[in-house]
Amino acid sequence: MALLEISGLELAMRSYAGETRVLNGIDLAIDRGEVWGVVGETGSGKSLTGLSVSRLVPCPPGRYLGGSIRFDGFDVLSASPAQMRQLRGTKIGMIFQDPTTNLNPAFRIGEQLQDVALRAGVIAPEILGLEAGASRRARRHAARALALAMLDKVGIPDPASRIDDYPHQFSGGMRQRVLIAMALIGRPELLIADEPTTALDVSVQAQILRLLYGLVRERNLAVMFITHNLGVVAQICSYVAVMYGGRILETGPVRQIFKQPQHRYTRALLAAVPRRDTKRGELAGIAGSLMAAGSGPC
């Protein structure tokens, strides 16, 4: 059995115009050590799939109509909020797109990391390397040491002098590293990365991808990498799921999807990316890309 198993997931969102189905039967299984690229255009439901796994879709307006999400055998959709809090941060780590808005500007980097470490330590004391009944002072010390070690791990130069900086003193790439450190502090088994490099420059993106790839190999992480950048998917992912209109159209190993795409939407998507040998005027746009969620291309 895979670490994460999503089967037949259906989600509807309510708005003034009535209820719209945004996920129409998602089936996806991710195992340890696998990097799954979830690709699709805006509105294809890729972010909602990621958010559903950690139950961060607000309900209402969201409503699950059917299907199941099993994480390590545990039924996520019927979990209580308290059970989900146990899962998030320790079993499931998350990184989001914009590193600027996901750090609190009023707190020091180290403090924000320590808080996550302390919380993770409550659920699993071995993360801090302490006995269950350790004093608050000892826990704080251990949390700070862990924060420092994590900053070092994600490649922040001279972490001891940067740990008491505020987020605005860090560059975009460094902030994203901090968020990766934060997501990994509780030693998760599954990492959900929702467009983690979209806001970054290509050179910084390459550093972040290298870091992620190293961590996957070192910790045998399962990663759900949500992005619309097919270049990034080709480089880092081992499997790909192509989404459109709340459905998964095609899944498979990355080479198969890129070299022998079966679905015509996948072929169209790949043809829309300018490559080394694409002549000017040859790029193919997708005419039906403005379709609303719920209607498929087929």
Partner 1 sequence: MLTVKNLVKDYVTGPRFSAQRRTVQALKGVSLNVARGESFGIVGESGSGKTTLSRCILRLEPATSGRIVYDGIDVTALSGAGLRELRARIQIVFQDPYASLNPRMTVHDIVAEPMLIHFTKLGLDAAQRTARVRELLDVVGLGAEHLYRYPHEFSGGQRQRVGIARALAPKPEFLILDEPTSALDVSVQAQVLNLLHDLQRGFGLTYLFISHDLGVIRYICDRVALLYAGQIVEEGRTAEVFDAPRSDYARMLLAALPEPDPDLSPYRAAS
Residue ranges that bind partner 1, judged by CB under 8 A: 41-42, 172, 201-206, 209-210, 213, 217, 228-236, 254-255, 258-259, 268-276, 278, 280-281, 283-286, 289-290
CB of 23 to partner 1, least distance (A): 19
Least spacing, CB of residue 270 vs partner 1, in Å: 7
> By C-beta, is 123 or 271 nearer to partner 1?
271
Which residue, 283 or 298, is less far from partner 1 as judged by CB? 283
Output the smallest distance, CB 161 to partner 1, in A. Answer: 21
Closest approach of partner 1 to the CB of residue 170, in Å: 14
Distance of closest approach, residue 28 Cβ to partner 1, in angstroms: 20
Which one, 122 or 284, has the nearer CB to partner 1?
A: 284
The answer to whether residues 24 and 294 touch, using CB atoms and an 8 Å cutoff, is yes
- CB nearer partner 1, residue 82 or residue 202: 202
Which of 214, 201, 150 is CA-nearest to residue 173?
201
Rounded least distance, CB 157 to partner 1, Å: 18
Interior CA angle at 47 toward 181 and 33, to 5°?
A: 50
Q: Name which of 173 and 186 has its Cβ closer to partner 1.
A: 173
Comparing CB distances to partner 1, the nearer of 161 and 203 is 203
